[in-house]
Amino acid sequence: MKLPFTKAKKNVDADYASVDIANKEVEGLSQSQIVRRRFFRHRGAMISLFTLGALILFVFSALNNKIGPFGYHGWWHYGIDDQPELISKGCPQYVTGCPTFHWRPGFLGGKNFGFGDHPFGQDDIGRDYFALTMRGAQRSLTVVFIVGLVAGFIGTVVGAISGFYRGWIDAVLMRFTDFIITIPVIVLGSVIGFHFGNLGVSVLAVMLGLFLWTGLSRLVRGEFLKLRELDFVDAARVAGASNRRIIFKHVLPNAVGVIIVSVTLLMSGAILTETALSYLGFGVVAPDVSLGLLISQYQDSFTTRPWLFWWPGLLIVTIALCINFIGDGLRDAFDPRQRRRLSRKDKSSTVTGVKAGH
């Protein structure tokens, strides 16, 4: 139900001086410099980017890891398989494995700041909960990035081909996405997770990615349909460019904003999907660890041992929140329409820019 493409005859240079003046802000910068500049100015996104980066480093360096023949040692003194003795000293009555993390200063009767042996506590059988949450966060982050890559790639390719070639190719691809969209994500994920969850987190993530690209492909298709009507595409064609060159050199770089922003949103959705699946028992399964699985295992212990519940949850929220804010910052950066509003102080400012008439 799109409107027919109508080209308004309009004086493009029509003077809306405010627009002209607004451009003063970006004088002499390349397109990507402008985007970067706007992004760097988005405080929420910058804080999130920093936090997420630090979190990734922290989480992945904590434990021993093996990827194929390569491996490294983490800085944390427990792994997820270690089963040290369950400690109940200093814990409330009938509770074992409480966190050893303490911060209350000595003059208030505390033990000053310190991590202790098990800062996040221990689980039922004595495993270090800090190690477990770190492994869970690793799993979740892995899923997020693999899903982002796989779904981002498929969605972009399908959307690009659909929107660029239109006609029957478009019809076939879009019907196919319609098919997949009728299946609720979480149900699809459950079916996938039920059968592939035990094959490891990467397989699960790839499988999820194989089905989560539909929303993205629709957006990319819309963007391609819009961009392919622009004159510079015709200009490239007259210059003798092939379809492939037009797609990759001319259209795709202009659709990159839409793609990046929606892949980010897709990734923040992916972490919630993964944890929800693991919570339901359809995602990562024991003995492997996932944040969703930890929450599901210890939700009933909330009243007695709330730390078993808080840490994995807070990690999920932090990761998802960071990705969402980064996505918001990217959207603002790629979409120049938003203008800043004045505060009362600005209104009475006397700083003036260039004089009129020059």
Partner 1 sequence: MIAYIGRRLSILFLILFGSSFLVYNLVAYSGDPTEGLRGNTDPKAIQALRSLIRNLQLDVPPPARYFLWLKKVVLNFDFGTTREGLSVASDLRTAIPTTIRLILMSTIIAIVIGIAFGIISALRQYTRFDYAMTFIAFVLFSLPVFWVAVLLKQFLAVSFNNFLANGQIAIWWIVVASIVSGIFWATIISGSRKRVWQVFGIAAAGSAISLELLSATHWFKHPTLGPVAVGVIGVGIAYGVTYLSVGLQNKQALKSSLAMVVASLVLYFPTQWVLNKEAGIFPTLGLLIFTIALAVVSGLFFSKIDRGPIVRTTVITSFLIGLVIIIDKLMKVWVPYINTDAINGRPIPTISENNSLLPAGNFWFSALDTVLHLTLPTLALSMISFAGYVRYSRGTLLEVLNQDYIRTARAKGLTERTVVMRHAFRNTLIPLTTIVVVDFAAIIGGAIITESVFGWRGMGTLFNQAIRGQDLNLFMGVFLVTATLTVLANLVADLLYSALDPRVRVVAG
Partner 2 sequence: MANPVLSVKDFTVEFWVDGVWYPAAVDMNFDIEPGKVTAIVGESGSGKSTTAMGIMDLLASNARMSGSVKVKGEEMIGAPKSLLRAFRGKEVAYIFQEPMTALNPVYTVGFQIVETLRSHFDMGPKEARVRAIELLTMVEIPNPEQSFDKYPHQFSGGQRQRAMIAQALACDPALLIADEPTTALDVTVQAEILDLMRGLKDRLNSAILLITHAMGVVADMADDILVMKNGLVVESGTSEEIFYRPQHPYTKELLGAVPKLGSSKQRTLPYSSDARPAPVLKIENVTIEYPKRGRIPAFIAVKDFSLEIFPGEIVGLVGESGSGKTTVGRAAIGLIPIKSGKIEIVGEDISHATQKDLAKIRRHTGIVFQDPASSLNPRLPIGESIGEPIFLAGLAKGDALNKNVEDLLDQVELPRSYRNRYPHELSGGQRQRVGIARALALTPDLLIADEPTSALDVSVQSRFLELLQELQDKLNFACLFISHDLAVVDILSHRIAVMQDGNLVEVGDRDRILRNANDAYTQRLIGAVPVPDPKEQAERRAARLAVSRK
- Residue 338 has a CB neighbour count (10 Å cut-off) of 10
31 contacts partner 2 (rule: CB under 8 A): yes
Helix (H) or strand (E) holding 252: helix 252-280
Closest to 213 (Cα-Cα) out of 250, 173, 255: 173
Q: Which is nearer to partner 1, 46 or 321 (CB)?
A: 321
Taking the C-alpha atoms of residue 254 and residue 256, their distance in angstroms, rounded to an integer, is 5
Among 194, 203, 256, 257, binds partner 1 (CB under 8 A): 194
Strands 70-72 and 65-67: antiparallel
Phi and psi based region of residue 90 (left: phi greater than 0; alpha: psi -120 to 50; beta: remaining) = left
Q: How many residues bind partner 1 (CB under 8 A)?
A: 44
Taking the C-alpha atoms of residue 321 and residue 314, their distance in angstroms, rounded to an integer, is 10
Helix (H) or strand (E) holding 262: helix 252-280
Residue 67 pairs with which residues in a beta bridge?
Answer: 70
What is 190-212 written as a DSSP string? HHHHHHHGGG-HHHHHHHHHHHT
Q: Which is nearer to partner 2, 145 or 165 (CB)?
A: 165
Q: Which is nearer to partner 1, 96 or 177 (CB)?
A: 177
Helix (H) or strand (E) holding 223: helix 214-227
286 contacts partner 2 (rule: CB under 8 A): no
237 contacts partner 2 (rule: CB under 8 A): yes
Q: Which is nearer to partner 2, 16 or 94 (CB)?
A: 16
50 contacts partner 1 (rule: CB under 8 A): no
Among 72, 110, 245, 286, binds partner 2 (CB under 8 A): 245
Asked if 121 and 186 touch (Cβ cutoff 8 Å), the reply is no
182 touches which of partner 2, partner 1, none (CB within 5 to 8 A by kind)? partner 1
Which range in 62-70, 74-82, 256-264, 321-329 contacts partner 1 by CB under 8 A?
Answer: 321-329
Q: Which is nearer to partner 2, 66 or 355 (CB)?
A: 355
Asked if 137 and 320 touch (Cβ cutoff 8 Å), the reply is no
Q: Which is nearer to partner 1, 51 or 61 (CB)?
A: 51
How many residues make up the chain in this entry? 358
17 contacts partner 1 (rule: CB under 8 A): no
Q: Which is nearer to partner 2, 28 or 109 (CB)?
A: 28
Which range in 126-134, 187-195, 226-234, 245-253 contacts partner 1 by CB under 8 A?
Answer: 187-195
309 contacts partner 1 (rule: CB under 8 A): yes
Cα pseudo-dihedral 325, 330, 332, 335, rounded to 10 = -150
Residue 16 phi/psi, 5-degree rounding, is -105, 95
Residues 201-230 that bind partner 2 (CB under 8 A): 230
Q: Which is nearer to partner 1, 2 or 89 (CB)?
A: 2
Phi and psi based region of residue 87 (left: phi greater than 0; alpha: psi -120 to 50; beta: remaining) = beta
Among 175, 341, 344, 345, binds partner 2 (CB under 8 A): 341
Among 253, 299, 304, 346, binds partner 1 (CB under 8 A): 299
Tokens of 178: 């319609």
* Interface with partner 1 (CB under 8 A): 1, 3, 44, 175, 178-187, 190-191, 194-195, 268, 272, 275-276, 279-280, 282, 292, 295-296, 299, 302-303, 309, 313, 316-317, 320-321, 324-325, 328, 337-338, 340-341
* Interface with partner 2 (CB under 8 A): 1-2, 4, 8-18, 20-31, 230-232, 234-243, 245, 249-250, 253-254, 339-342, 346-347, 349-358
